Amino acid sequence: MTECKHCQGTGWVLYQRNEKEFAKECTCTKNKLRNKIIPRKFRNQWDPSGYTQNWMQITDFFLKSDSSVVSTLVLWGLTGRGKTRLAYKILDTWATNYGSFRDVEFIKTTELHRNLYLALRGGFSVEENQRVIDNLKTAKLLVIDDFWCSPETTDVNFIKKFNDLLDQVRAEKIMITINLNPKEYIGIDTALSRIKENAMILEMKGCDRREEFGLEKIRMG
């Protein structure tokens, strides 16, 4: 493997300011963390065309706003509208411009359900699942994908655990994606009571972008 020419494999780059020497994380380390967190199919894959709303402008407002004003973005819409892609774009933008890839967490709600259940059940996997939960609590930006997407994640016991977890989350920003309008199908006061006060709840409209992408691949092939 070729050694990084900037840090010589140390992961840190030295620089001087006011005759004092400092160290900062090398770009190669940031790229490794980014590639570990963001799956290949979601890297550099955000396409803003075809939307009536300016999602980059919304992203900018969401990330720049003080958390006391806007702390959470709840994005809903039919499957294939680009919610998960935008979620990864927001994660990437925040980690690159406002924080670090060490401070972000992305989790599917079905995985969260499993982690919460196994952490309480006992056995050899308790510590591993509790570690995942602890990482979610300490993240500065937290993305929870596909909320309310399966019977087990709409169960009242899970919703209670979900709200209890949100009580302990320290994140400056939280993003939740969901396939249906939470105001119509979910008791907001029950299921999302911890985030509704400082939340933007927006619909992502448009065509099924998975079908469009599939057709484009056929044309290119």
Q: What is the pTM (predicted TM-score) of this model?
A: 0.86
d(CA 189, CA 196): 8
The string over 160-171, giving b where at least 16 C-beta atoms fall within 10 Å of a residue's C-beta and e elsewhere, is: ebbeebbeebeb
- Assess whether 85 and 154 both reside in one domain: yes
Residues of the chain with pLDDT under 70: 1-2, 123-124, 187-191, 193-196, 212-221
Residue identified by tokens 């309310």 is: 148
pLDDT of residue 59: 96
pLDDT of residue 196: 66
CB-based contacts of 28: which residues, under 8 Å, 6+ apart? Answer: 4, 6, 7, 11
Torsion sign, CA atoms 109, 114, 120, 124:
negative
CA distance 161 to 159: 5
Please identify which residue in the block is written with the tokens 């999602």.
Answer: 55
Q: Which amino acid is at 156?
A: V
* 46, part of any domain: no
Both 77 and 134 in a single domain?
Answer: yes
Statement to judge: residues 33 and 62 lie in one domain: no
Residue with tokens 């980059």: 56
Q: Which pLDDT score, from 0 to 100, does residue 191 have?
A: 65
Same domain flag for 68 and 142: yes
Residue range(s) defining the domain that contains residue 24: 1-37
17 and 84 housed in the same domain: no
pLDDT at 65: 95
The residue whose two tokens read 């963001």 is: 38
Per the domain annotation, does 44 fall within a domain?
no
Residues 17 and 108 in one domain: no
What is the tally of structural domains in the chain?
Answer: 2
| pLDDT on residue 220 | 40
134 and 204 in a single domain? The answer is yes
Tell me what pLDDT residue 108 has: 97
Q: Tell whether 47 is covered by a domain.
A: no
pLDDT of residue 188: 58
For position 213, what pLDDT does the model report? Answer: 54
Q: What is the CATH number of the domain that holds 66?
A: 3.40.50.300
Token code pair at residue 95: 């980690």
Asked whether residue 169 falls in the same domain as residue 111, the answer is yes
Contacts of 147 (CB under 8 A, 6+ apart): 109, 153, 176, 177, 178
